[in-house]
Structure 1
Amino acid sequence: MLLHLAAFAAAAPSVASAQDGVSKATTHPSCFAASGDTRTSSQMASFSTRWTCEGGGWDASAPVSWIRFEKIDWQGETPPALFFTRISRFDEIELTAIDADGTTRSKTYSENQGRPIAAGPIFTLPLPAITDETRSVVARIAGPHSAPMVTEARLTTSTARTDWTVMQLLFLAMILGMLVTPLLFDINFYFVLRERFVVLHAYMALSMVLYVLFAGGLLPLFIPVSVSAMAIGASLSWAVGVAAAAFFFSAFVERGTLPPLVDRALRASGWWTLLVIGFASLQFDWSQSFDNTLYFISFVPVIAIYLAAIVVALVNGSRAARYVAAAWIPLILAASERLLRGLGVYAAPPSLDQLLFAALALEVVIVALGIASKYVAIRQDRDSARAEARMLENLSERDPLTGLLNRRALDDRFAALHRSGYETVALFDLDHFKQVNDTHGHEVGDKVLKVVGDVLNAEPDSVAVRLGGEEFLVLLSGTNAEIRVETLRQTIAVRVAREVDALNSILTASVGLIHVPLAGNPVADFGHIYRRADALLYEAKAGGRNLLASDTMHAQPPGSTVTAFAAQSAA
């Protein structure tokens, strides 16, 4: 991108000095007006009372907005050749040069004739011929979808003499690079420690990358793009990024620091942004009279809710909220300034958007630090949980036959293990084990139980427990838990057949597996979970044994499903 911009800088004509007669880069409007869609440029030029020439006078909700430029503003300068303004949707723009004797020359352009250029969020249109007799230029904008399209309109001598300098574009490219970096970081981070807030932050970063490309006017450097695509892309990418921020903040702060009511309001504001503001971003022809006002006004309650959520989380001692506050408050201030300009409260050049882009860069740096801090904290918690799990293995609360933990060791620690990521509970029972004891004696039965204990204890990221008799329980963390449990179930039959010579038949196992996501079950009751797993085990037994029955625990549990696996013959 920097190479593209450097080439652009090299190709751009240098700004001439005052001695060359072209010291002014742009010509600002003298007056504004708004009307219905029936008046012509000649008619408007003759109605001086309809024009406002001292601040204000712009109205993006009217069918037609008018802008007048007087010759006195470029007197003694090279006559302007181009009209340019902020990218926004419109129906038609008519540019009329009016001479002293009343002669007019007009050019009319449709939306798809606008030419976005890499000089900020603007597009240009050629003016009709400007002569020494030209006294004014009138722009008639039919169906404008934003107030800044009127307030930020200018005339210029060439595309090299617009509001943004090459250095400002280079600064914008640097910000774009800063936005891409945390996006790559999020992707790598998610593979190490899968947390939902990482995905949401990646959505935010991607949306802001698109926003800078569209709203910063960088996209035309790489591909031809229409005015409508630039206008919709900028507003929609910002809305999506702001919506993702609500869900990110809800998932990022520590559990319990956002009261349920505040958390629901925060999530609702995210959906509001996505649906209502996202709709206004599309700028349909039939919504021209209100979509600009709807877009910006709808951000007001969103900003209030975001600020309130930050304050509440800070008061409740959230460390994560400190990073968010430092990152978002400058961004909210810059966005509020852009909101006021968008509503037409005052006029300012589009180069003021550099404040918003700089705030974006600051946001990604600070939030990236917050995510890194959260990453370290989560890893420490999980390492502590695993250390505690290893410590449990050295306690006296063990089954003397298999060396596995017993029920007593599990009861007091189940909730802590669940919070640390052990979200899958698998209840094993050996099929027809009573026949082993009755036929071969308890010595052979004990040997079988020891082999089963060895098999279950060898599974990484798990805690194996003997509950009593031929019943075992395994807690698992990590992914692919059901596949891992099924592998254990089949391995039991193979290992027992190989290591217990006295048996003359294959000993199989049945399993009831229940997945208990931490997100939906923050306070896990082991007794309830055990009963659910036992019911699934009964289903597996009733289905013919040598099966695995699985289910996921929800707030309102759905019916369980039984997954049957073909019995494996012993090696």
Structure 2
Amino acid sequence: MALSVLLAGPIHAAAEDGAAAGVKAMVSDHPGFAPTCHAASGEGTSIRAMARNGAWVCDDRTPRADLPVAWLRFDAESWAGEERPRHFFTRTARHQAIAFAALDADGTLRTRSFTEAEARPLPAGPIFALPLPEIREETRALIVRVERPHSVPLLSEARLIYDVEDAGWSEHAMMLLAMVIGMLILPLFFDLSFFVVLREKFVALHAGMVLSMMTYVLFAGGLISVFWTLPVAVGAVIGPLSYAMGCGLSALFLAEFLERDAQSPAMRRLMVAVGVWTILVPGFFSLQWHATQAIDDRGYFLAMLVAAFFTSFAILRAMWRGSRSARYLALGWFPLIAASIERSLRGLGLYVGPSSLDQMLYVATGIEVIVMSLAIADRFLALRRERDAALTEARMLEQLSSRDALTGLMNRRALESRFGELLAQGFDTFALVDLDRFKYVNDRYGHQAGDGALIACAAALSGNDERDAVAARLGGEEFVVLLRGKRALERAENLRRAIPLRIASEVPGLDQPVTASMGVIELPRASAHALTFEDFYSRADTLMYEAKASGRNRMSYEKLTMFDSAPLSRAEAMAETGTGLGAERTPAGEPRTTGARAA
């Protein structure tokens, strides 16, 4: 719903109290005869008293709906020489009862009365009709007594007609309402689709606004009567109630939809308060209890003006701050504001116009919904871009914190955090790699060459087996490769041998190959969980230094197995591990697996 929802007021509201500035003027497109005079009184005034000496107002003043009883008088001169009317119809609104009295020339009164529940809504707009007592040739006037009227249009738009088929809005007007409903359905689906992807509160609020407007058009426009005949009291309440709900949701929508820098925290809290106010206060008056009949019309209208003022101020302030969303709102709400101003002028009695002007609001509503759907789509894309950028930045920061800046491999912190997960995935071979005489490379050829050698080493260790090998740089010239699958030792040795070849091809000018020593721990997968990263690292580090001590450029490995009971000759090894694991340690220039024998 838009700003016009706040300004225009519902069909029952006082904004339309002067929709017909004079009861003699034909302010409706409906065929029929308008009242000649009107009056208002307390409950004790009888029809006969009004017929004899009523305080009738027969000028252009608007009928009053704030006293317990309202009166209308239709003089016979209205239909003189024509077929006599047989039905009364007017705008759907709450009331307690309506009584008719046909006054003949000799003073005879023929009366007929109906309660609100007996009124029959017509499937041709927001109207209902009642049959009249017999109107004869000698009838001089028809007097109508309306108890507890809750709306001025109930009085100002009352007409006498020959046939109920003559009442109601045209087919074109009803088709227009149906088109507006159709225009509202698509944005509702858009809102639901957007909310599934982007769980933003303003999308849900807009969906509620669209539902409220659909309900308002169905009931306030009388379109619901085409499909379902409801009691007058139900239709008269649901229309303004849905209007109040839509207005309140509009204020809440603004608080959520406008960009954070377009409104201060105080303004946002104010709009939330305005939304709650509009739902509760006008919502209460829209129920139109008979006990509040004297004030509910005016109370509804004044409460809406409060919401209109603050909502207008919030939009203008956001536009002044350069809000893109506020510009969309202003564009979408301009037709509604124009329709609201026109309605207000008629409500103030500045001029008289046909009730078909009310349909401008429905057309403007369709325009507003289309523009607001575009606004939400624009905001949706903007928020999605912001979230994508934030996710990209978060991924980059995560990568920077978990990756080695020089080589792009995982760093030690990332490897340690994932170590248990990798063991569970079967990476049960731990290879610790250290470049031989790397300090000589830095001192002789400079740190740029040293960095090139580290990058080339990382590329060699990454290899083409990303699925079954994970490489990481622990720091300096020290690397780790975790492997899983068959021939893990052989594959580890192949990676080690690939290092000098890769460095030689990518770092020119070295006078000798840069080799690597490797210490490897291999443990059956079922037993891998028994060791931590530090356990693997400590044992592999010892093996790696044994390889260096044996002449460098080689691999030293242990294959660990589980013993049922440890042999006495293995007591020292057991004391080192603190577990029931035994090991056979073998320096070697090529991969070789040696299993420990069970005792």
TM-score over 0.5 (shorter chain): yes
By how many angstroms is 1:406 displaced?
Answer: 9.6
Q: 1:405 to 1:229 in 2, by over 3 A?
A: farther
Is the 1:146–1:342 contact (alpha carbons within 8 Å) kept by the matching residues of 2?
no
Is the 1:163–1:351 contact (alpha carbons within 8 Å) kept by the matching residues of 2?
no
TM-score by length of 2: 0.63
> Letter of the aligned partner of 1:108 in structure 2?
S
Question: 2:41 — aligned with what?
Answer: 35
> Letter of the aligned partner of 2:289 in structure 1?
F
TM-score by length of 1: 0.66
Identify the range of structure 1 (331-340 vs 307-316) with the bigger mean alpha-carbon deviation.
331-340
Question: 1:252 — aligned with what?
Answer: 257
**In 2: Cα distance, 1:336 partner to 1:292 partner:** 19
**In 2: Cα distance, 1:358 partner to 1:500 partner:** 72
1:290 matches 2:315: no
Q: 1:269 to 1:407 in 2, by over 3 A?
A: farther
**In 1: Cα distance, 2:115 partner to 2:281 partner:** 28
Encode CA deviations 1:54-73: one digit per residue, 9 max, x unaligned. 11251111000011112222
**In 1: Cα distance, 2:123 partner to 2:189 partner:** 26
Q: 1:344 to 1:33 in 2, by over 3 A?
A: farther
1:503 matches 2:552: no
**In 1: Cα distance, 2:306 partner to 2:35 partner:** 34
By how many angstroms is 1:187 displaced?
Answer: 0.9
Quick one: which of 234, 238, 244 aligns to 1:233?
238
Q: 1:104 to 1:396 in 2, by over 3 A?
A: closer
By how many angstroms is 1:500 displaced?
Answer: 5.5
> Letter of the aligned partner of 1:37 in structure 2?
E
Q: 1:337 to 1:142 in 2, by over 3 A?
A: farther
By how many angstroms is 1:153 displaced?
Answer: 1.0
Quick one: which of 309, 321, 325 aligns to 2:326?
321
Q: 1:394 to 1:269 in 2, by over 3 A?
A: closer
**In 2: Cα distance, 1:159 partner to 1:406 partner:** 87
Q: 1:144 to 1:406 in 2, by over 3 A?
A: farther
Is the 1:148–1:347 contact (alpha carbons within 8 Å) kept by the matching residues of 2?
no
Quick one: which of 38, 46, 55 aligns to 2:52?
46
Instruction: Map 1:52-451; keep pairs closer than 5 Å.
Output: 52-335=57-340, 337-338=342-343, 349-389=354-394, 391=396, 398-399=403-404, 403=409
Q: 1:231 to 1:340 in 2, by over 3 A?
A: farther
Encode CA deviations 1:255-296: one digit per residue, 9 max, x unaligned. 110122222221111111111100001111211111111011
SS of alignment partner, residue 85 of structure 1? strand
By how many angstroms is 1:227 displaced?
Answer: 0.3
Q: 1:396 to 1:121 in 2, by over 3 A?
A: closer
Is the 1:152–1:347 contact (alpha carbons within 8 Å) kept by the matching residues of 2?
no
**In 1: Cα distance, 2:176 partner to 2:340 partner:** 19
By how many angstroms is 1:337 displaced?
Answer: 4.8
**In 2: Cα distance, 1:405 partner to 1:344 partner:** 80
The number of residue pairs the alignment matches comes to 414
SS of alignment partner, residue 354 of structure 1? helix
**In 2: Cα distance, 1:507 partner to 1:293 partner:** 78
Question: RMSD of the alignment, in Å?
Answer: 3.6
> Letter of the aligned partner of 1:171 in structure 2?
L
Encode CA deviations 1:387-407: one digit per residue, 9 max, x unaligned. 445555776972479945899
**In 1: Cα distance, 2:524 partner to 2:383 partner:** 41
Is the 2:124–2:226 contact (alpha carbons within 8 Å) kept by the matching residues of 1?
no
> Letter of the aligned partner of 2:528 in structure 1?
L
Question: 1:475 — aligned with what?
Answer: none
By how many angstroms is 1:162 displaced?
Answer: 2.2
Larger RCO: 1 or 2 (CA < 8 Å, sep 6+): 2
Instruction: Map 1:474-489; keep pairs closer than 5 Å.
Output: none
**In 2: Cα distance, 1:199 partner to 1:368 partner:** 13
Q: 1:264 to 1:393 in 2, by over 3 A?
A: closer
**In 2: Cα distance, 1:498 partner to 1:119 partner:** 85
By how many angstroms is 1:364 displaced?
Answer: 0.4
Q: 1:364 to 1:51 in 2, by over 3 A?
A: same
**In 2: Cα distance, 1:162 partner to 1:284 partner:** 28
SS of alignment partner, residue 528 of structure 2? coil
**In 2: Cα distance, 1:405 partner to 1:314 partner:** 50
Encode CA deviations 1:524-549: one digit per residue, 9 max, x unaligned. xxxxxxxxxxxxxxxxxxxxxxxxxx
**In 2: Cα distance, 1:499 partner to 1:241 partner:** 68
Instruction: Map 1:521-532; keep pairs closer than 5 Å.
Output: none
Encode CA deviations 1:184-239: one digit per residue, 9 max, x unaligned. 11111211222111100000000000001100001111112000000110010000
By how many angstroms is 1:40 displaced?
Answer: 1.6
Is the 1:273–1:302 contact (alpha carbons within 8 Å) kept by the matching residues of 2?
yes
Encode CA deviations 1:311-330: one digit per residue, 9 max, x unaligned. 00101111011111122233
Identify the range of structure 1 (394-403 vs 66-75) with the bigger mean alpha-carbon deviation.
394-403
Segments of 5+ residues of structure 2 without an aligned counterpart are: 1-28, 421-428, 434-461, 475-521, 534-599
> Letter of the aligned partner of 2:36 in structure 1?
S
Identify the range of structure 1 (259-268 vs 171-180) with the bigger mean alpha-carbon deviation.
259-268
Q: 1:396 to 1:251 in 2, by over 3 A?
A: closer
> Letter of the aligned partner of 1:379 in structure 2?
R
Is the 1:163–1:349 contact (alpha carbons within 8 Å) kept by the matching residues of 2?
no
**In 1: Cα distance, 2:316 partner to 2:409 partner:** 51
Is the 1:148–1:342 contact (alpha carbons within 8 Å) kept by the matching residues of 2?
no
Is the 1:58–1:344 contact (alpha carbons within 8 Å) kept by the matching residues of 2?
no
SS of alignment partner, residue 60 of structure 1? coil
